């Protein structure tokens, strides 16, 4: 198992339309467990050994996971692809050169 913490270029003050679109991405992702205490969660809760959760932070949409690399990387790549398609801009990590964008 490896702990992964990654931010995506989805700004915390994005309009409600962005969050509604992301909910559709969330529920379509493999291993969706639902909103646990309001937090989007996959695999299990933060108390479980295998889990992914996401929060909205000033640094962007933040993912935290505890998964083997072989499970995490394909899942995260799929999330970025699906979010990019749904939101209409390239979703990626700001430190990799992806600027913050929102739906206007």
Question: What are the tens digits of pLDDT across the range 75-93?
Answer: 999 999 999 999 999 999 9
Measured between alpha carbons, how far is 25 from 46 in angstroms, rounded to an integer? 20
- For the chain, domain boundaries: 2-96
- Residue range 50-67: average pLDDT? 93
- At residue 103 the predicted structure's pLDDT band, cuts being 50, 70 and 90, is low
- Residue range 38-54: average pLDDT? 86
Among the listed residues 16, 23, 13, 2, the one whose alpha carbon sits nearest the alpha carbon of residue 79: 23
Please name the CATH architecture into which domain 2-96 falls: 2-Layer Sandwich (3.30)
DSSP class of residue 4? E
The predicted pLDDT at position 100 comes to: 82
- Residue range 43-65: average pLDDT? 88
Percent of the chain predicted with pLDDT > 90: 75
Question: Following CA atoms 25, 16, 40, 72 in sequence, which dihedral angle do they give, to the nearest 10 degrees?
Answer: 50
Would you say the C-alpha torsion 43, 92, 60, 21 has a positive or negative sign? negative
């Amino acid at each position: 198992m490896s702990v992964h913490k990654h931010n995506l270029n989805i700004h915390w003050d994005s309009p409600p339309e962005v969050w509604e679109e992301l909910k559709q991405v969330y529920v379509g992702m493999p291993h969706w467990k639902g909103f646990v205490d309001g937090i989007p969660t996959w695999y299990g809760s933060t108390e479980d050994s295998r889990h992914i959760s996401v929060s909205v932070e000033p640094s962007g949409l933040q993912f935290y996971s505890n998964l083997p690399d072989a499970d995490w990387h394909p899942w995260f790549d799929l999330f970025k692809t699906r979010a990019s398609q749904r939101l209409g801009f390239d979703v990626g990590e700001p430190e990799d050169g992806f600027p913050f964008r929102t739906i206007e």
